[in-house]
Chains A and B, each alone.
Chain A
Amino acid sequence: MSTLLNGRTTQWQRLLARNSWVLGVWLLLGALIVWYSTLIPVFGQFQIVSISKNSLPLIYLAIGQAIIVIAGGIDLSLGSLLLLGNVLAARFMDEQSLGVVFLVAVGVIVGLALLNGLTGYVISISGVPDIVVTLATSYIWSGLALWILPSPGGGTAPEMRWLFTGSPSGIGGGYGLPILMIVVPSLLVYFVSRHTRTGLSLYAIGSHPVAARLAGLNVRQAKIVSYAIGGAMAGLAGLATVAITGTGDPRFSVGATATLNSVAAIVLGGVALTGGEGSVLGVVATAVTLIMLNPILTAMGIDSNSAQVIQGVLIAGVMMFGGLAILLRERRS
């Protein structure tokens, strides 16, 4: 700490040191994109749109997971909430007017925020570990999703698809909107988490809940807020999914994969699973990175079965590298 706070280090060095991991993962993503562009015959608008729009659901889910983990929790139900948001949207937006579609979209985001806020409330009053409660709710939400939409189907308005994918048909649009849909929600959550009293209290309770309570913070409220933000982001991810595919898909495996990927993305993005540390901005880069791994490995001509192994080894490798960095840091200070 002393090196950080004394006058000899410049503002620039401090900023760099604080955000080295975030900067690192963004540089890694940049390098991956450049590399990918050399692996395929043409790299243009189609590819940029493809990567950015396909990343949207995971980006949203990972941002939500990041906020919950920063506040000291973990949410295994986010993928199921994505399913729920997806099928609610597909079921009730199908062949409706734009006004209804808009209301359903708002309803999904607010509704899932309330539902997951309730989960946060249950966790904080019951004292049951987050992982247990959210594992239970994950089954409830995916069961509910199957009840709302028993088999894949439904639809949405072209405007909805346009908003997330840049094209009313979900493909062939410009990259402006998909990138905007990455940037705006990410920066919004980043701002709330770093520059508001509520946001900073999330870091405080995640870092040391007892100290936070003694300092006069409302720990229960912060917990509920973190889960509500997670729910809202899962709702947004569900909307992005219906925009990309144009249908709802209630299959449990889809949600389970999404949950696991969201945890992988936050760990790679520098959010400590112990809470209180990390930034939403790094998570955005790693979510895109995870989405890009598949096309890259395929383009390299790596056999699809080995691709999964390589993906796992990469995640394990980066996580161990992160652990090593922390270990080194703790030894030196």
Chain B
Amino acid sequence: MKVLSKLFALLLVLALAVTGCAAPPAPVADGGSSAAEAPAETSGFTVGVSNTLVGNGWREQMICAIKAEATASGVVDKVIVVNRNGGPTEQIADLEGLISQGVDAIILNPTDRDGLNAVLEAAIAQGIVVVAVDQAVTAEGAYVVTNDQVAYAQNGAEWLFEQLGGAGKVAEMRGIDGVPADTDRHNGFMAALANYPDIEVVAETFTGWDPSVGAQQTLDLITTQEIDGIWTSGIDYPAVEQFTTANLPYVPIVGADNNGFVKQLLELAGDGLVGAAVTNPPAIGAVGMSIAIDALTGNSPSLVTTLNPEVIATGDTAGLEALYAPDQQPGWSTYVNIAPYTHYNGSADVSACKGPGE
């Protein structure tokens, strides 16, 4: 009897294996046809996307912007997104999978500056266009598109210090200790601070880029000490909410281009809220797509593209209104149109999150 049941088990496994083998005629045909078409010179491109942080709003918007730009371009047939949590080991496997699928270009948000170079250089050697967005890679021949994180903090901090007339007590609310973007931003903040000897940093916190943590820290700060201004690394609208909660007068505050913050800057201006939204767009993914298409169609874009953060502050109502997206969540990053790179129709297209043919 034992033998029988074991044979039964074996047969089931076999059946599983065989059905697994026979079931998917459709995908096979799909793969076959796209493989048969040699990549055209001007259109019909397949672009692979590799991301290794799942469940993060900024990264999801980045992927949606890539898809939206691919659709808007009209020359990309297919976007293959490989999206899972992991480190360099997982990303190398994902990149090799994309190469195996015969993509024409790869857009990646890299987990490591140097660790992916061998696989990226192998892809480039096969004629695949490689574009690293958000964070840099050192692979030879790879296109790199980044937001200037040093300038992000420096521009915002300078606005704040000017707003305070060059003197006062400020809080620096950072992101995650040890993360390159946080280190760069801190350096930018310190560079701005060097020119304002009468500005005193009375508190430095790490929000972990977590809205609830940032909110609690803000509440603690404003209820326990005298603060004249706050610089945040992007946890902005939860911080503003704390002033309302504690029924305290607003102080000048620097945040990112988050929809909730832009809304507050517009609606609470009458109540005395003064602030600046500094752009750190996830739409950088769309810029990467645009550069990939340029490279594929022989327009030879430059290898390094750095987006300079813009400061859109109270007083520039038209600028803030242009950013504000009433249909989106508070965490939505509003700075989605990046001239001359993006071709889609604003937040609506990005939030639809449709790649070509979807």
Interface residues of chain A, those whose CB is within 8 Å of chain B, are 1, 3-4, 9, 13, 16-18, 20-21, 23-25, 27-28, 30-32, 34-35, 38-43, 46-47, 50, 54, 57, 150-152, 167, 169-172, 241, 244-247, 249, 251, 253-254, 257, 291, 294-295, 298-301, 303-305, 307-308, 321, 325, 328-329, 332-333
Please tell me which one of the listed residues A41, A43, A247, A253 contacts residue B85 in the complex, with CB atoms under 8 A apart: A253
**24 CB < 8 A contacts A-B:** A3-B2, A24-B10, A24-B13, A31-B21, A40-B100, A41-B34, A41-B101, A46-B100, A47-B96, A50-B100, A57-B89, A152-B88, A170-B118, A244-B89, A246-B114, A247-B114, A247-B115, A257-B90, A294-B84, A294-B97, A295-B94, A299-B100, A304-B81, A308-B54
Residues of B within 8 A of A150 (CB): 178
Q: Does B4 count as interface, using CB distance less than 8 angstroms?
A: yes
Q: Tell me whether B80 and A298 are in contact (CB under 8 A).
A: yes
Q: Does B122 count as interface, using CB distance less than 8 angstroms?
A: yes
Residue of A nearest to B25 (CB): A38
In the complex, how many residues of chain B place their beta carbon closer than 8 angstroms to a beta carbon of chain A? 60
Residues of A within 8 A of B18 (CB): 31
Residues of B within 8 A of A54 (CB): 89, 92-93, 96
Residues of B within 8 A of A39 (CB): 24, 27-28, 31
Nearest Cβ on chain B to A318's Cβ, whole angstroms: 8
Interface residues of chain B, those whose CB is within 8 Å of chain A, are 1-10, 12-14, 16-18, 20-21, 24, 27-28, 30-31, 34-35, 54, 80-90, 92-94, 96-102, 111-119, 121-122, 178, 180
Q: Tell me whether B30 and A301 are in contact (CB under 8 A).
A: yes
Please tell me which one of the listed residues A17, A46, A299, A308 contacts residue B31 in the complex, with CB atoms under 8 A apart: A299
Q: Tell me whether B9 and A325 are in contact (CB under 8 A).
A: yes
Residues of A within 8 A of B101 (CB): 40-41, 298-299
Residues of A within 8 A of B114 (CB): 246-247
Q: Tell me whether A241 and B6 are in contact (CB under 8 A).
A: no
When chains A and B are docked, how far (Å) is the Cα of A308 from the Cα of B90?
14
Residues of A within 8 A of B117 (CB): 246
Residues of B within 8 A of A251 (CB): 87
Nearest Cβ on chain B to A283's Cβ, whole angstroms: 15
A-side binding surface: helix, strand, loop or mixed? helix
Nearest Cβ on chain B to A45's Cβ, whole angstroms: 11
Q: Tell me whether A152 and B83 are in contact (CB under 8 A).
A: no
When chains A and B are docked, how far (Å) is the Cα of A322 from the Cα of B96?
32
Please tell me which one of the listed residues B2, B31, B88, B122 contacts residue A41 in the complex, with CB atoms under 8 A apart: B31
When chains A and B are docked, how far (Å) is the Cα of A9 from the Cα of B321?
82
Nearest Cβ on chain A to B129's Cβ, whole angstroms: 17
User: A27-B14, A31-B18, A40-B100 are known contacts. Are A249 and B87 too (CB-CB below 8 A)?
Assistant: yes
Q: Tell me whether A298 and B82 are in contact (CB under 8 A).
A: yes
Residues of A within 8 A of B98 (CB): 298
Q: Which 4 A-B pairs have the closest CB atoms?
A: A24-B13, A41-B35, A295-B97, A304-B83
Q: Tell me whether B115 and A249 are in contact (CB under 8 A).
A: yes
18 new A-B contacts, CB < 8 A, other than A169-B118, A321-B16, are: A20-B9, A20-B10, A24-B17, A31-B21, A38-B31, A40-B100, A46-B96, A50-B93, A57-B89, A151-B178, A151-B180, A170-B92, A249-B88, A253-B87, A298-B82, A303-B81, A328-B9, A333-B2
User: A17-B3, A35-B21, A39-B31 are known contacts. Are A24 and B9 too (CB-CB below 8 A)?
Assistant: yes
Nearest Cβ on chain B to A177's Cβ, whole angstroms: 15
Residues of B within 8 A of A245 (CB): 87-89, 92, 112, 115-116
